[in-house]
């Protein structure tokens, strides 16, 4: 199993969601596939408020699946964007994209 998501969290979600668990995963992955590519574009355009909001949304959704590393990266992006701190932000956005792919791969195994 992957360390990209917390297996205990997924087990709990599966018990609660029952037959809709796969739909929940699909909705999360669809949301990520729309939002994650926006992060570098928002950074490039220096739209820090929208970048903060997008990272905040991704952080919450990722937390629900026990994607702890992705949640932390999104928190760091959110805080840096809120402060208008560009230093290291590009690396965080890149890391979040890579981590989101790990999460997607891990969740695909649970569909």
The answer to whether residue 74 is domain-embedded is yes
Asked whether residue 87 is assigned to any structural domain, the reply reads yes
The tally of domains found in the chain comes to 1
Q: What percent of the chain has pLDDT over 90?
A: 95
> Does residue 90 form part of some domain?
yes
| pLDDT tens readout for residues 27-61 | 999 999 999 999 999 999 999 999 999 999 999 99
8 to 61, 89, 106: CA distances (angstroms): 16, 31, 13
Range of the domain at 64: 7-108
Q: How far apart are CA 65 and CA 11, in angstroms?
A: 10
Q: Which of 99, 94, 92 is nearest to 65 (CA)?
A: 99
C-alpha 23/C-alpha 51 separation (Å) is 27
pLDDT at 110: 87
Averaged confidence pLDDT in the chain: 96
Residue 1 has pLDDT above 70, yes or no: no
Domain CATH code at residue 15:
1.20.120
Q: Is 53 a member of any domain? A: yes
CA-angle at 55, arms to 93 and 58, nearest 5°: 110
Determine, yes or no, domain membership for 2.
no
């Amino acid at each position: 199993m992957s360390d990209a998501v917390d297996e205990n969290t997924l087990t709990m979600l599966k018990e609660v969601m029952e037959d809709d668990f796969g739909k929940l995963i699909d909705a999360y992955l669809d949301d990520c596939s729309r939002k994650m590519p926006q992060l570098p574009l928002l950074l490039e355009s220096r739209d820090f408020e929208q970048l903060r909001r997008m990272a905040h949304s991704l952080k919450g959704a990722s937390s629900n699946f026990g994607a702890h590393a992705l949640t932390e990266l999104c928190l760091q992006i959110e805080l840096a964007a809120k402060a208008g701190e560009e230093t290291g932000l590009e690396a965080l956005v890149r890391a979040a994209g890579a981590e989101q792919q790990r999460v997607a791969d891990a969740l695909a195994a649970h569909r």
